C-alpha cells in the first residue's frame, strides 16, 4: 500500500477521536516531566548500502541489538530528528510540519554518506508510530508526544567507511514542557567555552547549578557573536525588527525557527538573519527561544560577565506563538 500524500500545511492532522471516548495510558499527566517513558511500539526500517529504504514495520518498544563493530558505535555514523504530536481540544492529534524534519534528515544523511527514507516514507512512519502509541499522547494542555526518528549505520565494519547496513528507527515518549514551571527563561552567557566544539562539555550543568535555565553560547572564533542555547535557537526584537543568528556550520536550521520567521514576516515585522554581537542582545526589547522541545519560550533575563539584564516579556510577540 502506498503511503499517504505529504501534507504541506503547518499542522498535519493524523487522527481524529471525534465521538470516541479517549483512552489514555496509565500516566499521571499532572506529574509528567521531560524524560523517557516507554511506550508500546516503535518503528524500524532497514536497508543495505547502495539500496533504498523499502518497507518498515512497527514492533514492540524495547532494546535493539547492534554489532560491536556497528558504524554508529565506532565512527558515529548517525543522526536524529525530533518532533511532537499534540492532542487538540476537538479530539484530533496533530503533527507540526513533519515534512520539514524529513527534508532536514535527508540533508544530514547525504553529508554522513547514508541513504535516507523519502519524505513520504518518513512522514508515514511518524504517523504510524504516533497512532500506534495514541494512548500516550497527553491530554490537551498537559504536554505532547515527543517523536524521535533515528538514522544510523547499523552494519558491522572495521575500516573507516560507510556502514554496509542502515537502520531507520522511530520511538516516542510523552513529555511535559521542556522548561516546565518557568514562564520566562534566565539565560547565562558562556564566553569561555563553546557549544559546537569539544570545549563545550559541562557548561549547561554548571549554569543550572547556579540557578539558570540554560546556557547561551557565543561563537568559537571571535567569542562575541550569539549562536544558540544548548537546546534551541534564539531571537531578539528591537524596534519591531526581529533578528536571529544566521545559519552556518554551528547553528541548527530549526524548523520552529523557520516557522517563526515566516510568521513574523506575515505579521509585518522586518526579519534579519545576521551576526548578532552579544551587546545587541543585551539591548534588545525582547528575547525568546524556539525549538521542538521548548516550542517558543520567552527569556526573562540574560546574565553576561556577572551582570544581569532583565528582559521584558511581551505577550504581543513571543507568547502569541506559544504552542504553534
Sorting pLDDT into bands at 50, 70 and 90, what band is 197?
Answer: low
H-state helical runs in 173-307: 203-209, 255-266, 278-282
- C-alpha grid cell for residue 270? 522586518
Do 185-310 and 41-176 have the same topology in CATH? no
What's the pLDDT score for residue 319?
Answer: 41
What's the pLDDT score for residue 6?
Answer: 34
What ranges do the domains of the chain cover?
Answer: 41-176, 185-310
Q: Class for domain 185-310, per CATH?
A: alpha beta
H-state helical runs in the chain: 71-75, 98-111, 119-132, 203-209, 255-266, 278-282
What's the pLDDT score for residue 179?
Answer: 79
Residue 2 has pLDDT above 70, yes or no: no
Answer for the pair 141, 155: CB distance below 8 angstroms, yes or no: no
Residue 30 has pLDDT above 80, yes or no: yes
What's the pLDDT score for residue 205?
Answer: 79
Q: Class for domain 41-176, per CATH?
A: alpha beta
> Mean pLDDT, the chain, as a whole number?
87
Q: Is the pTM of this model over 0.85?
A: no
Taking CA atoms, 220 is separated from 1, 32, 197, 290, 304, in Å, by 49, 36, 8, 22, 16
Counting residues of the chain whose pLDDT is more than 90, the rounded percentage is 68
Mean pLDDT of 66-71: 97
Contacts 24+ apart (CB under 8 A), 64-70: 64/167, 64/169, 66/154, 67/154, 67/155, 67/156, 68/156, 69/156, 69/157, 69/158, 70/152, 70/153, 70/154, 70/155, 70/156, 70/163
What's the pLDDT score for residue 252?
Answer: 86
Sorting pLDDT into bands at 50, 70 and 90, what band is 42?
Answer: very high
Amino acid at each position: 500500500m502506498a503511503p499517504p500524500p505529504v501534507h504541506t500545511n503547518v499542522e498535519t492532522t493524523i487522527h481524529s477521536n471525534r465521538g470516541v471516548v479517549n483512552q489514555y495510558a496509565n500516566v499521571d499527566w499532572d506529574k509528567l516531566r521531560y524524560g523517557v517513558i516507554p511506550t508500546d511500539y516503535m518503528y524500524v526500517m532497514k536497508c543495505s548500502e547502495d539500496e533504498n529504504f523499502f518497507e518498515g514495520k512497527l514492533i514492540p518498544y524495547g532494546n535493539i541489538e547492534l554489532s560491536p563493530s556497528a558504524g554508529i558505535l565506532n565512527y558515529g555514523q548517525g543522526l536524529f530528528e525530533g518532533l511532537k504530536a499534540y492532542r487538540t481540544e476537538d479530539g484530533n492529534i496533530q503533527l507540526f510540519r513533519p515534512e520539514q524534519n524529513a527534508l532536514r534528515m535527508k540533508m544530514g544523511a547525504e553529508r554522513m554518506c547514508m541513504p535516507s527514507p523519502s519524505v513520504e516514507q518518513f512522514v508515514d512512519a511518524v504517523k504510524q508510530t504516533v497512532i500506534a502509541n495514541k494512548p500516550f499522547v497527553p491530554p490537551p494542555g498537559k504536554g505532547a508526544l515527543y517523536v524521535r526518528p533515528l538514522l544510523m549505520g547499523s552494519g558491522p565494519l572495521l575500516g573507516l567507511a560507510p556502514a554496509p547496513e542502515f537502520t531507520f528507527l522511530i520511538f516516542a515518549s510523552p513529555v511535559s514542557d521542556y522548561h516546565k514551571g518557568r514562564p520566562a527563561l534566565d539565560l547565562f552567557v558562556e564566553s569561555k567555552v563553546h557549544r559546537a566544539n569539544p570545549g563545550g562539555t559541562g557548561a549547561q550543568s554548571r549554569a543550572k547549578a547556579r540557578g539558570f535555565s540554560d546556557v547561551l553560547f557565543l561563537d568559537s572564533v571571535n567569542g562575541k557573536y550569539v549562536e544558540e542555547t544548548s537546546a534551541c535557537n534564539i531571537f531578539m526584537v528591537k524596534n519591531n525588527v526581529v533578528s536571529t543568528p544566521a545559519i552556518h556550520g554551528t547553528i541548527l536550521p530549526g524548523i520552529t525557527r523557520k516557522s517563526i520567521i515566516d510568521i513574523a514576516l506575515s505579521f509585518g515585522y522586518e526579519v534579519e538573519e545576521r551576526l548578532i554581537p552579544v551587546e545587541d542582545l543585551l539591548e534588545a526589547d525582547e528575547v525568546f527561544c524556539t525549538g521542538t522541545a521548548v516550542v517558543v519560550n520567552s527569556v526573562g533575563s540574560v546574565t553576561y560577565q556577572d551582570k544581569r539584564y532583565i528582559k521584558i516579556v511581551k505577550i504581543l510577540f513571543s507568547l502569541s506563538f506559544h504552542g504553534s
